[in-house]
Copies of this chain bind each other. A is one copy, B any other.
Amino acid sequence: MRGKVVCFGEVMLRLSAPGAEVLLQSARLDARIGGAEANAGVSLARFGHDVRMVSFVPDNPLGRTVVAELRRQGLDVGGVRTAPGRLGLYFLTPAAGLRPAEVLYDRADSAFAMADPDAIDWAAELEGADWLHVSGVTPAVGPGAAEAALKAVRAARVKGLTVSFDGNYRKSLWDLWPTDGAAILADIVAAADLFIGDDRDVALILGHDFPQTDPMERRRAAAEAAFTGFPQLSRVASTHRVVYGADRHGLAGFLADRDGHWTAPPLEVTGIVDRIGAGDAFAAGLIHGLRTEMAPQAALDFALAAAALKHSIYGDFNLVDVSDVEALLAGGGDVKR
């Protein structure tokens, strides 16, 4: 934890239906801020790391709200530039009962998506940092963002930073511009130390499936394939979500390095408040574990508990501290006085 963690990605305004309502059932929206890399960054800041956000927002009240909120959460916002375009939005109908959550993206032509990939001098931007985190959402939003993401991870590699990449593959996202998403993802993974992705992500990138029945076996096979395909890659991790029932999920974890692999058995997650951002919370938990030199099993357990706790927090950000995660790992409890 000597240096800073730099997170690069789009930050959006999230507009969600209040309570268990469907979108615009009543005339009110809850407004929050979120985005895959910012979510991970906020969590890392709460875990005690110096985090610098790099992004583009419009020079208007919405963009300024994003900056203010990131500042509130303790991020260094010196790397958030203004640029022409809109602020990306997403509308969220939270899950309720047997009804799944629903996300409606409204992020086309955002300041981030349209930003000039050369607007950032990455050598300067990464000064003082020892870690770079990006996700697969970033290259998906537009060609400029894809090019910028590649420049970022390559510059990080040159400077000797650790690079973590959260695949985060979502088919609907890649409709925003016509390209070969798998190839771009492969280019980024090629520059990464830690790849957060499951067998489906690896299958997409490498172009072949993993037929094992057991999900952890599939992940192990995929990790091995990834280690073969990407020589610099040192770790592969993912969660495995098991939907036991409507309101009750199980969340298991997987981590592999070139010497072995570790699994964390499913944590039962009930009374879900907000499932959005759980993957980012896992990424942040894992990065925290690795940066604080936890043993692999401990790092994985910490990451999984952090992700499980995220389900209890409203909004994209995982507003919990190390002590909250540790308390859950120690068995949870009744009222904390």
Seen from chain A, the residues whose Cβ lies within 8 Å of a Cβ on chain B are 15, 19-32, 60-62, 65, 68-69, 71-74, 86-87, 89, 91, 93, 95-106, 108-109, 170, 172-173, 241, 243, 245-248, 267-276, 308-309, 311-315, 319-320, 324, 327-328, 332-337
- B71 adjacent to A327 (CB under 8 Å): no
Q: Which of B29, B87, B241, B332 contacts A98 (CB 8 A)?
A: B332
Q: In the docked arrangement, what's the CA distance between A334 and B241, Å?
A: 9
Q: In the docked arrangement, what's the CA distance between A29 and B333, Å?
A: 24
A104-B308 contact in complex given A72-B68, A243-B332, C-beta closer than 8 Å: no
Q: In the docked arrangement, what's the CA distance between A202 and B227, Å?
A: 60
- A311 adjacent to B71 (CB under 8 Å): no
- A334 adjacent to B60 (CB under 8 Å): no
- Chain B residues near A276 (CB, 8 Å)? 335
Q: Which of B27, B62, B91, B95 contacts A335 (CB 8 A)?
A: B95
- B26 adjacent to A98 (CB under 8 Å): no
Give A105 Cβ to nearest chain B Cβ, in Å. Answer: 7
A320-B91 contact in complex given A15-B29, A23-B61, C-beta closer than 8 Å: no
- Chain B residues near A28 (CB, 8 Å)? 26, 28-31
